[in-house]
Structure formats: C-alpha cells, structure tokens
Amino acid sequence: MRKLVVICVVITGALLISGCQEIDTEVSAVTVMDAPNDSGGGVVVAWPAPAGVKVDSFAIERLDPETGKYTPLTTVKGDETFLEDTGLTPNADYSYRVVANLADGKTTAVGEGAGRPTGEWFNFNRLNVLVGVVSFVVLVLVFISMARGGKELFVRKIAGLEAVDEAIGRATEMGKPILFVSGLGDASDIATIAAMTILAKVARKTAEYETPLIVPCRDPIVMMVEKEMVREAYTEVGRPDAFEEDSVFYVTDSQFGYVAAVDGIMLRERPATNFYMGAFYAESLILAETGAQTGAIQIAGTDRVTQFPFFITACDYTLMGEELYAATAYLGRDPLMLGSLKGQDWAKAVILVILIVGAILIALTGLGEVDTTWFARLFETVS
Amino acid sequence: MAQDYSHVKTILATDCGSTTTKAILIEKEGEEYRLKVRGEAPTTVEKPAEDVTRGVLNAVGEVEELSGRTLLKKVKVLHSGKGIKGGTDVYLSTSSAGGGLQMMVAGVVKSMTGESAQRAALGAGAIVMDVLASNDGRLGHEKIEAIRRLRPDMILLSGGIDGGTISHVVELAELIGAADPKPRFGSGYDLPVIYAGNKDARGNVKGSLEAKTDLYVVDNIRPVLERENLGPARHEIHNLFMEHVMAQAPGYSKLMEWTDEPIMPTPGAVGEIIQTIASTYGIEAIGVDIGGATTDVFSVFGGVFNRTVSANLGMSYSVSNVVAETGLPNIMRWVPFSVDERAIRDRVRNKMIRPTTIPQTLEDLIVEQAIAREALRLAFEQHKSLAVGLKGIQQQRTISDAFAQTATGGTLVNMMNLDMLVGSGGALSHAPRRAQAGLMLIDGFMPECVTFLAVDSIFMMPQLGVLSKVMPKAATQVFDRDCLVRLGSCVAPVGSGKEGSNCLHIEADFPGLGHISEDVKLGEMRLLPLPVGEKVRAKLDPARGFDLGAGKGDAREVTLEGGVVGVVLDCRGRPFQIPEDETKRVNAITGWLQNLDIYPKVF
C-alpha cells in the first residue's frame, strides 16, 4: 500500500511538472502559447488591444508553410483579445498575424507571432476525476485488505440469492429438473457473464443434490462456456459422473424461436425451478408467465430496466440491475470480489451524498440564500 | 369407541418423570374442577425396583393420605364404580422416564421434509437426536455410523412430495436398512420406523426396510410443498411410543392397563395444554420448561403450534454446556458484581456433578439465575429458528414487492403479538422470589409491547395436558385457577434512543397508588404493584421512535393485569443493549434489581 502511494505521488509530480512547461513562442505583439491540458493539437493566440482607436474586429491569419503567405483563419469581435486554434499538428511551428479592422473602415496590423503546440502528460482539467478515481481505488483496496484480513463485511441480504438453495431443494423434493436460462445476450454482454457465474454456483448445488439441470442456450459461444462451467462445477463437488453432456445445449439464435423452444421445455418437463439470469428483451414476460403457470419457483435477474416490471410480477424473486453483478461476490464470498463490491457501494454512497448536497445548494441558490458556484466548480472542467 | 367423560367428578393424573413421579387429584366442586392435593415419590424405573408402577403407587398413596379418599386397591389404582367406595373416575398418565422418547428423523432436503419431520417428532413429544438428509453434507457411512451410535427409540423417515422424488427417499431407506438399527429397549424387537414420505416410494421403502425393521407407513407429512400434514405421523408416533417404547420399559405394560387413555410423552402433554389454552382464550402464547438436562419451548402463533427441545441446555446436567455455548462474558453481564472467572467455572462444574444441589449463598443464586437467563435465551433462539413457515413454496408477487421481496420460511414467532409467557421448571417455579422468575423470563425472552407473565406453580402442566385431550374444559379450569401463578403484565416499548431520554409515559388509576402519571426514561425498569386478579385500564404513550403496538410514538389504551409481582415497566429498549462500560453496567443492573425488589441485598 505504501509503495502504491509513493508511485502515485511520483507520477502526479511528473505530470504537474510536464503541465508547467514553457512554450517556445516568439516575443512580439502577438503571443502564441501552447494550449494547456491538450494532446498537442492547439495553441492560444493572444494580442493586445490597440490603444486610442476603436476596433470593429480582428482578423487572424495563419502562415501557410507551403506558400509562405498568411491565409485568413477567422475574424473575432473587436473586444476579444485571444483565440484558441485547434486541430493542429503537435510539435509543428505555426505563425500567426493579427490585423485590426477599425471602425472607420481602415485596417492596421497588430503584430505577428509564432508558437508550437505540444501535448501535455496531464490534463489538469480532469484533476477532479483523478481525485475521484484515486479515492475509489483506495476505497476498494482498503475493503479488499479488510476482507482478506478476515473482517466480516456486511452485505445486505438479497432475497433472490438467499432463495437459490430453497429453489434447488424444491426441485429435489419434487423430483423435477431445474431450468436455467442465461438470457439473449452474447458472451461479451456483462449480464451474460454475471449469469454464467451464477450458473456455476447453481450447478454446484444441483450436483450436490443430484437434481437434473437443463440449460438451453441462444448463443453457441455462450453454450460452450456454460457447458464447461457446469462440467467443472460437477467435478468440483466430486460428481463428474452425474454431469450430462446434453444438459447444456444450443437451441437457436432467433429470439422468438428460442422463447418458443424454452416454453415448450417448461410445459413438457415441468421444471420445479426456473432461473432467468442475463439480458432479456420482449420475451421476458412470455418466459416468466409460462413458468409461473407451470407452478415453478422462479428467480430472475437482469440489468435491463424495462424488463423489471414483468419479472417482478411473474417471478418469486428478482435481482435488479447491480444485484445481478453483486451475485458472484455474494454467493462466492471471495475477499477480492467482496472488497470490490463494498468499495463500489461506498463510492456510490459518496456520489449520492454529493448529489443530495448539490440539489440542496441549487435550491438555496434559487432562493438567493447562498452562493454555490464554488461547489459546482468542483465538478466542472478545471480551467 | 370414545369414552364418555361428561359425568366425571374425580380425576387422578400422574407424570412419571426421570427422577420423581408426581400425582395430582382433581375434583369437581359445583360446576368447577379444582386441584385437591398433590403427591410426589421417586420414580422407580431403574434398579432395584425396575417397575414404574411402584413410584406411581407411592405418589398416589401420598395423595390418598392427604385427600382421605381411597385411590388404591392392593397394588393397583382403584377406579370408581357401583358398590365401590372411593376410587377415581379417570386415571391418566404421562411419562418422560428413561429419557423420554428419543427419535431420529430423516428427510430429503434438510430445510424442507427434514424440518417437517423434525416438527412432527417434536410436536409428538420426542427429543430429536439427529436429522438425516440427502444434503446434510455427511457421507453414507457417516450417516450409518450415526444411526448405530445414537440408538433411537424410533425413526421417522420422510421425503419427497407425493409424486416427487423416489431415488432420494429410497437412498435414505437403504442407509437405514444398512445400519440395521437396534432399539434402546427390548433387544428382541425390531426398531420401529415410520415412513411418512412420497406415496409412490412406499413399495421401494418396504423392499428396503420391511425385513430389517418394524415398518409403519402413514400419509406423507408433506403431500405438497405448500402444506404440512403432521397429524398422521404424530398419531403413529404416539401409538408406537405406547406399543414399543413404553411396553419395553419396566412396569409400563402394567401402567398402561391402569390408565383410561394412552400414556403420553410428558413434553407432548405440555404442548397439548399450551395449545388448549391458546385456542380457548384466543391468544398467542409461549411456554417454557427449563429442566436439568433439557429446555423445552412451546409456542402458538397464528394458531400454529411449535415445540422445540434444546437437548443440551439445562440447569444441572447440561449447565456446563450452557456456559460453553453462550460464553462466560454473556453470563457475567447479568451479574451486578465482579467475580473471578475461575470461581464461576468451579460453581458450574459443581452443579453439573451434583445436579440436585441448590444455591447456598445469594451470590450463588445470582450466578445460577444469570445462567438460567442465558439458557432461556439460547433455547428461545433455537425455537425461533425452527418455528418457521414452510420453505420452498411459490409466492405471488405484485409490483409493490419490488424492494421488499420477503423470503419464505420466516419465523412465526412475533413477540409484538405475544399475549402470555408461561415458565416452568425448577429454576423458575422454585425461585425464592416470584419477581426473580419474572425477571428471568423477561431477560431470557425479551417480550415486547404488553405481555402477561406466569409460572407453573407445581409443574402440573403435563397432567393437565393429557387431561386436555379428553376434558379440555376441566384442564383449562384447573390450569387457570390452580396451576398458574400470575406474575403480572410486562410493558416493554420496542425501539432504541439516547440513554436517559424519555421512553414511556403511563397514565392509570392503580388501586393503592391512586392516579399515576409518570415518565419512564430509557434504560429504566419500574414496578407498579397490582394484586392478583386486579385489572386496570392504562394509557401508554411511547416516546417518538418507540412502539407499543400502535405504531412508533403512538399512544394506546391497554388492560394491565396484576399478579404476585405486579406490572413491570421494562424501558430498556428493544433490541436490548446492556451498557458496555463496567460501572454503567453494574449501576444499571443494580437499579433494575432494586426497582423490582429482586434480591434482599443491595450490591
């Protein structure tokens, strides 16, 4: 931990130094400075306002290195004294000329200047993000270290996950199989990955209870991964012989073709317990309602907000949103995952507090009670 | 054919306990049944007598002497009849001699049919020695070894709903068959096994067990997961208890001939009287019997009866186990003075090896009652974990359940609804002051809202339990008038707050005290004297954050009932927190003990 802090301090110092580098500019009436906190694609052109004359506008010209002539870049109002030119090539030299268009129709040259855009190691505009990320990482590391040290980290009970044993027990008493549907997402979908980890836990239990498991898949890659996970789970509990190769199988990648097939399985096999974990779309209610009609205990979990109402009303338990992602840590009690989960929860709590404080301050600002711009600036781009 | 008990005037009932046999004589006075006399004699199951009826005759002999009514003829209980002078119209008996009924139960899933089988056995009055299940984590040979080692009186095998799993049930039956179990009593007999599981597996189970055991088949205790059917299994347990266990025990065959109704296991009988009282008065009740070796807890919530027996929690044989389970700090937290840990351990061990001794000093008594509090608390915790709803049942949800998805199998025990708490057993019934028994019950069970406390005066609940099976009205009358020692109501607001802040305001007209209007602070206990039989209407106004059943901070009017102790205002908050600071803790406990006049000496 101490090493990590030292490394962070060194990196931050280096970044600060790089951010303060002087830019190679020619000293003249027009100053061309490297634009700060960028990747090297911009310069800031600044000029003094001519004294004693009324300026209507300034014409800014940039030297074209191929022709050696200045070409018009843009025109700004007469009360402005700088311009940021972006989209430049890093580390190339650029020259600018500023011409003042006077109110009486005449023009007068303000001056010329040159400069070179360079990229910075650190974007100070995002300093608040760095602070946030470092705080978050520290929180997670602290909780992981606490979990590894044997401290009991409290995680609120998630009824849907508590009921997994009960649901498998029900199937065992009834002598019926368990159906596990891992959604319509592919292997890159985070909800599908979460579903796979839950499947591994369920498979371990079904192996212990000697209860049949049915896993119909919509995606061939998901099927291969899940088959291996189930096989491994059976091996882990010392029942490799009980694993049936055909228990995890591919159906079709057609959305409603898949749903029709799964509904058919429900009606024919009458599973006592149905799990719906992963990404679901329009088929969620069709699946859950058919399962409810067959009398099965149903546990659903998805991060698709639009499907929550259907699962909540048709299933016995529903894991909503992040509860699905938390399932692995909850079921496995692995210190790394548990620590991450706690760290994330605390970070969310902090964000929530900031949102509440912000809302209150905005309300007070509206009443003209206090000046809250300082608070808003904490979360704006630092300039 | 059921006997007609409508003209019964005299009832003799005995309870053959492990150490003493207790006999009571009940007679009808006008329209009421009342306890007349009580007799007691040592139980004679063991050598040299080896005949339970000797103890029964001795106890009934004492009753005969005290009542002046002839109850024995030669060496037999005399039944009244034409031309017979004296005698009893009905003779009933219960028994827990020889360790009572000891059973093993088996189910497919431990928390489903395993738990149902456990409830069936416990409700029938048995001690459940072990629960075998397909998912109990033990290997086959370990289960076989457990069956052989424990030698139960009988085994209840269940598992699978009707039409459900067969393979798991048959596997359990094969394990029992492979163990080739022998009963505790009667070496020439086969062990009774009751099969109360999936009806489709009956043939297979018979194939596995019929040749090796005395197999009885009854209806499934869990025909569907949504419903329990414990009646047939319990009935069969009672029958087999009589036919096998009792018939093999010394002298019981003779005793069975004397009784007018089958002999019941003692805990089963206590459960009967608790159920009868709860249904008669329409109340939620808890009963506890804290013995030397075991502690039984009975409860009726929402009409559902539950009984648990904590086989390792008791005040003499099991006292060391209480200390081991709860830890010395938990016992010491109830003691208002500092004692050397070793001295406590010595006291406990002495009690274990000399179970019949009683405390000789006030300090000994305080320590023993501290242990009793923890034994009651642990037994109640166990009870709450088994007195639960059915698990694994389908639930109906609405969108309002989105953030409150309650799980099945929640405890049925709701202390907010508890009306009556009845204590029994030496530690409670024989406490030198009734207030001590009251405080032990409060500390052990932590009643909430308004609860009426009582103790069994002479432990006659078993006899009344068996009587309630045939004459519930008579049993209720005697229970109400002669069995219960009314301690009084306990008022305990639920909630927590800042130490020393207001917790409760009470307004009432107390006989002897006049009109009272008092504030009670959080952390205080007070006693308001109210004699037995007196009732007062009181307005209870809990402070913000505290609940007395009407909602947090909402006042309610209740009827408070008096007793030998009076009305106890327990404003220590729920959940109860004892001060961690030593000085504060001692001061707090001393205050409670003084206010309730628990002990004669101030520490």
What are the residue ranges in chain B where pLDDT is below 50? Answer: 1
Instruction: Give the best residue of A158, A172, A298, A302 to mutate against chain B (max B CB count within 10 A).
Output: A172
Judged by CB atoms closer than 8 Å, whether chains meet at B392 and A296 is answered as: no
Judged by CB atoms closer than 8 Å, whether chains meet at B394 and A165 is answered as: no
Residues B524 and B379 grouped into a single domain = yes
Dihedral sign, Cα of residue A186, residue A191, residue A196, residue A202: negative
- Whether B434 is in a domain gets the answer yes
- Whether A95 is in a domain gets the answer yes
Out of A170, A308, A313, the one facing B392 most closely (by C-beta) is A170
Asked which of B80, B97, B114 is the last residue of a domain, the reply is: B97
Which tens digits make up the pLDDT trace of A252-262?
999 999 999 99
Say which residue the tokens 């509860």 belong to. Answer: A323
Dihedral sign, Cα of residue B305, residue B306, residue B309, residue B313: negative
Which tens digits make up the pLDDT trace of A158-191?
888 889 999 999 999 999 999 999 999 999 999 9
Judged by CB atoms closer than 8 Å, whether chains meet at A297 and B392 is answered as: yes
- Whether B273 is in a domain gets the answer no
With 50 as the cut, is the pLDDT of residue A23 above it? no
User: In chain B, what residues touch A312 (CB-CB under 8 Å)?
Assistant: 397, 399, 401-402
Instruction: Give the best residue of A157, A161, A166, A173 to mutate against chain B (max B CB count within 10 A).
Output: A173
Residues A299 and A221 grouped into a single domain = yes
- Whether B380 is in a domain gets the answer yes
Residues B320 and B379 grouped into a single domain = yes
- Whether B268 is in a domain gets the answer no
Q: How far is A289 from chain B (nearest CA, A)?
A: 12
User: In chain A, what residues touch B114 (CB-CB under 8 Å)?
Assistant: none
Judged by CB atoms closer than 8 Å, whether chains meet at A209 and B167 is answered as: no
Residues A281 and A212 grouped into a single domain = yes
Residues A290 and A173 grouped into a single domain = yes
Asked which of B36, B66, B97 is the last residue of a domain, the reply is: B97
Q: CA–CA separation, A219 vs A229, rounded Å?
A: 15
- Residue B513, number of CB atoms within 10 A of its CB: 13
Judged by CB atoms closer than 8 Å, whether chains meet at B391 and A162 is answered as: no
Strand order in the sheet with B484-492: B304-310, B295-301, B285-290, B420-424, B449-456, B484-492, B567-571, B524-528
Per the rule left: phi > 0, alpha: psi between -120 and 50, beta: everything else, A46 is beta
User: In chain A, what residues touch B407 (CB-CB under 8 Å)?
Assistant: 159, 162-163, 166, 317
- Whether A168 is in a domain gets the answer yes
Residues A228 and A310 grouped into a single domain = yes
Q: Which domain holds residue B312?
A: 285-390+407-595
Question: Which candidate, B309, B274, B302, places its Cα nearest to that of B388?
Answer: B302
Residues B151 and B86 grouped into a single domain = no
Mean pLDDT for all residues in chain A? 88
Structure tokens at A209: 């209870």
- Whether B3 is in a domain gets the answer no
Q: Please indicate whether residue A63 or residue B292 has the higher confidence score (pLDDT).
A: A63
- Whether A128 is in a domain gets the answer no
With 50 as the cut, is the pLDDT of residue A27 above it? no
Q: Among residues 104-143 of chain B, which lie with CB inside 8 Å of chain A?
A: 108-109, 111-113, 134-135
- Whether A190 is in a domain gets the answer yes
- Whether A365 is in a domain gets the answer no
Say which residue the tokens 């052109």 belong to. Answer: A45
Residues B413 and B295 grouped into a single domain = yes
User: Residue B223 maps to which CATH number?
Assistant: 3.40.50.2300
- Whether B271 is in a domain gets the answer no
Residues A229 and A318 grouped into a single domain = yes
> What pairs with residue A317 in β-bridges?
A299
Say which residue the tokens 């060496």 belong to. Answer: B75
Judged by CB atoms closer than 8 Å, whether chains meet at B402 and A308 is answered as: yes
- Is the preceding peptide bond at A271 cis, omega within 30 degrees of 0? no
Q: How far is B398 from chain A (nearest CA, A)?
A: 5
Residues A58 and A193 grouped into a single domain = no
Asked which of B232, B253, B274 is the last residue of a domain, the reply is: B253
User: Do residues B51 and B42 lie in contact, with contact meaning Cβ atoms separated by under 8 Å?
Assistant: no
Looking at the predicted complex, does its ipTM rise above 0.85? no
Longest dimension (CA), chain B: 75
With 50 as the cut, is the pLDDT of residue A22 above it? no
Place A15 in a pLDDT band, splitting at 50, 70 and 90. very low
Out of A159, A176, A296, the one facing B405 most closely (by C-beta) is A159
Residues B152 and B48 grouped into a single domain = no
Place A382 in a pLDDT band, splitting at 50, 70 and 90. low
Give chain A's contact residues with B (Cβ, < 8 Å): 159-160, 162-163, 165-167, 169-170, 172-176, 208-210, 292, 295-297, 308-309, 312-318, 320
Chain A contact present for B400, CB below 8 A: no
CA atoms within 13 Å, Cβ hemisphere of A257: 8
- Whether B87 is in a domain gets the answer yes
Residues A45 and A165 grouped into a single domain = no
Residues B60 and B172 grouped into a single domain = no
- Whether A127 is in a domain gets the answer no
User: In chain A, what residues touch B164 (CB-CB under 8 Å)?
Assistant: 173-176
Residues A236 and A321 grouped into a single domain = yes
User: In chain A, what residues touch B409 (CB-CB under 8 Å)?
Assistant: 166
Question: Pairing mode, if any, of strands A213-217 and A248-250?
Answer: parallel
Q: How far is B407 from chain A (nearest CA, A)?
A: 6
Kindly list the distances between the CA atom of residue B43 and the CA atoms of B22, B46, B99, in Å, as whole numbers in the listed order. Answer: 9, 8, 12
Residues B174 and B195 grouped into a single domain = yes
Q: Dihedrals φ, ψ of B586, to 5°?
A: -60, -40
Residues B347 and B484 grouped into a single domain = yes
Asked which of A294, A315, A333 is the last residue of a domain, the reply is: A333
Q: How far is B384 from chain A (nearest CA, A)?
A: 19
Dihedral in degrees, nearest 10, Cα atoms B190, B192, B195, B200? 20
Residues A55 and A201 grouped into a single domain = no
User: Residue A101 maps to which CATH number?
Assistant: 2.60.40.10
Residues B222 and B128 grouped into a single domain = yes
Judged by CB atoms closer than 8 Å, whether chains meet at B135 and A172 is answered as: yes
Judged by CB atoms closer than 8 Å, whether chains meet at A316 and B135 is answered as: no
Asked which of A333, A359, A374 is the last residue of a domain, the reply is: A333
Residues A172 and A104 grouped into a single domain = no
Out of B164, B398, B408, the one facing A173 most closely (by C-beta) is B164
Q: CA–CA separation, B296 vs B464, rounded Å?
A: 17
Structure tokens at B537: 């209407």
Residues B106 and B93 grouped into a single domain = no
Dihedral sign, Cα of residue B59, residue B60, residue B64, residue B66: positive
Q: Dihedrals φ, ψ of B229, to 5°?
A: -130, 80
Q: CA–CA separation, A300 vs A278, rounded Å?
A: 8
Q: How many domains does chain B have?
A: 3
Residues B93 and B105 grouped into a single domain = no
- Whether B265 is in a domain gets the answer no
Residues B341 and B477 grouped into a single domain = yes
Residues A202 and A256 grouped into a single domain = yes
- Residue A95, number of CB atoms within 10 A of its CB: 17
Instruction: Give the best residue of B135, B172, B198 to mutate against chain A (max A CB count within 10 A).
Output: B135
User: In chain B, what residues touch A314 (CB-CB under 8 Å)?
Assistant: 397
Dihedral in degrees, nearest 10, Cα atoms B496, B502, B508, B510? 90
Compute the radius of gyration of chain B from its Cα atoms.
Answer: 25
- Whether A314 is in a domain gets the answer yes
Out of B397, B405, B408, the one facing A166 most closely (by C-beta) is B408
- Whether A130 is in a domain gets the answer no
Asked which of A333, A354, A369 is the last residue of a domain, the reply is: A333
Which tens digits make up the pLDDT trace of A113-141?
999 999 999 888 888 889 989 999 999 99
Q: How many domains does chain A have?
A: 2
Q: How far is B286 from chain A (nearest CA, A)?
A: 28
Out of A295, A296, A313, the one facing B399 most closely (by C-beta) is A313
Q: What pLDDT sits at residue A249? A: 97
Out of B167, B399, B405, the one facing A309 most closely (by C-beta) is B399
Burial B529-553 (b: 16+ CB within 10 A, else e): bbeeebebebebbbbebbbbbeeee
Residues A188 and A321 grouped into a single domain = yes
Q: Which domain holds residue A202?
A: 159-333
